[in-house]
Amino acid sequence: MIYTNLKKKFSFCIVAFLLFAVICVWKERKKGSYYDSLKLQAKEFQVWKSLEKLTMRSGSKSVSSGSTQDPHRGSQTLSSPRGPAQAKPQVFQVWDKDSSSKNLIPRLRKIWKNYLNMNKYKVSYKGPGPGVKYSADALRCYLRNRVKVAMVEATDFPFNTSDWKGYLPKENIRTNAGPWHKCAVVSSAGSLKSSQLGQEIDDHDAVLRFNGAPTATFEQDVGTKTTIRLMNSQLVTTEKHFLQDDLYNEGILIVWDPSVYHSDIPKWYQKPDYNFFNKYKSYRELYPSQPFYILRPQVPWELWDILQEISPEEIQPNPPSSGMLGILIMLTLCDQVDVYEFLPSKRKTDVCYYYQKFYDSACTMGAYHPLLYEKNMVKHLNVGTDKDIYLLGKATLPGFRNIRC
Ligand SMILES: *[C@@H]1O[C@H](CO)[C@@H](O)[C@H](O)[C@H]1NC(C)=O
């Protein structure tokens, strides 16, 4: 009896000791992981700090004018032994207008090469270049004189046949559009998210948007006004809701479709990239009072030729992006064109569109379209500041209406 009692007491002690040991070990573990996470936090903080230093050095360095509201300014002035008088001017890291395929990541460089070999649109460029240098003023005049920005007309064969009777708008686009003073071209870039540019964009006399880019629920960042919507033929042909979605019912619509290099309207009509013609007709029947134009298929290639001429190397033999075409269209209708997030701001991201969660660096640097060279051109034509590009993603281009050539 006594023996079993002792045995019981003994095993109780052992159990209690084991329990104590387990608790001790568990506590120690917990402490450890807590310290680990503290260490991690400290590391993150350091990385964040050095990142901040980097951006301060290369980007948002703020020293010069007293009107800037940079939070670093005070401390920098205090800690600088030289004082603000000898401070360097602000330097903002923005798009380099001499970018080339050397700036591409290997994957995009490979795509660029593949397109050069593929030559889907049978490009046979015989003009000058590559690498011809024009001043910004000369380039503006060159673009104005060499690219005939116009729409397909009811007198163009085969749009003058009975199949097309009454489908194209009767008025020239210029009776419906402009001339405007200040225009905005709003890209669909992911970097527009959280930009708070809505009010600034809406303050323009006319706003051009692209494809299915919405304004609803994104008003704060992209504004509410849509004066022109430029769409590619792929969207018109394949978007299921194109005829139903009231997104498309506002403003003037323009659709463009890539032809084989420099083919005329009859040739293009026989072999469009996307056969959007029936969908176009259906839309016109549903909404006959909304102006809806078809861009002359020669326009993209007339623009492409100039891009090729001034670029430092061979560019993708594919049509320019909708973005570049939209900028060109507005340049012909406005005194001044503010382009948002075509040249990336400090918000630059691999997120392709502000209204979709889709990542690809090709959306900024280009794969199919010669986007890199288009950005070089827009940077060259920009008369705004690097600060506007960096902070707002805004490039300001003088329209063609008032330039002297
Ligand atoms: C349509 O235009 C073509 C080329 O300009 C012309 O030859 C043809 O006669 C026109 N057709 C009609 C029905 O006007």
**Is any ligand 1 atom within 6 A of the Cβ of residue 67?**
no
Cα 394 to middle of ligand 1, angstroms? 45
Nearest protein CA to atom 13 of ligand 1, as residue: 161
Residue nearest to atom 8 of ligand 1 (CA): 157
Ligand 1 centroid to Cα of residue 163, in Å, is 13
If you measure from the C-alpha of residue 160 to the centroid of ligand 1, how many angstroms do you get, rounded to a whole number? Answer: 6
Decide: 162 in ligand 1 pocket, CB within 6 A.
Answer: no
The residue whose CB lies within 8 Å of the most ligand 1 atoms, and thus the one to mutate among 152, 155, 156, 157, is: 157
- Per-residue pLDDT tens, the chain, 405 aa: give them: 445 454 565 565 454 544 455 444 454 443 333 333 333 333 333 333 333 333 333 333 333 333 333 333 333 333 344 444 556 677 899 999 999 989 999 999 999 999 999 999 999 999 998 999 999 999 999 999 999 999 999 999 999 999 999 999 999 999 989 899 999 999 999 999 999 999 999 999 999 999 999 999 999 999 999 999 999 999 999 999 999 999 999 999 999 999 999 999 999 999 999 999 999 999 999 999 999 999 999 999 999 999 999 999 999 999 999 999 999 999 999 999 999 999 999 999 989 899 998 898 888 888 889 999 999 999 999 999 999 999 999 999 999 988 999
Ligand 1 site, residue 157, Cβ cutoff 6 A: yes
pTM across the whole model: 0.78
Model pLDDT, residue 45? 35
List the residue whose alpha carbon is closest to atom 4 of ligand 1.
157
| Ligand 1 pocket, mutate which of 153, 159, 160, 162 (most atoms under 8 A from CB) | 160
Give the Å distance between the CA of 169 and the centre of ligand 1: 18
Return the ligand 1 atom nearest residue 160 CA. Answer: 1
Pocket of ligand 1 contains residue 160 by CB under 6 Å: yes
d(CA 322, CA 360): 18
Protein residue closest via CA to atom 3 of ligand 1:
157
Cβ of 161 closer than 6 Å to ligand 1, yes or no, is yes
Q: Which atom of ligand 1 is nearest to the CA of 161?
A: 13
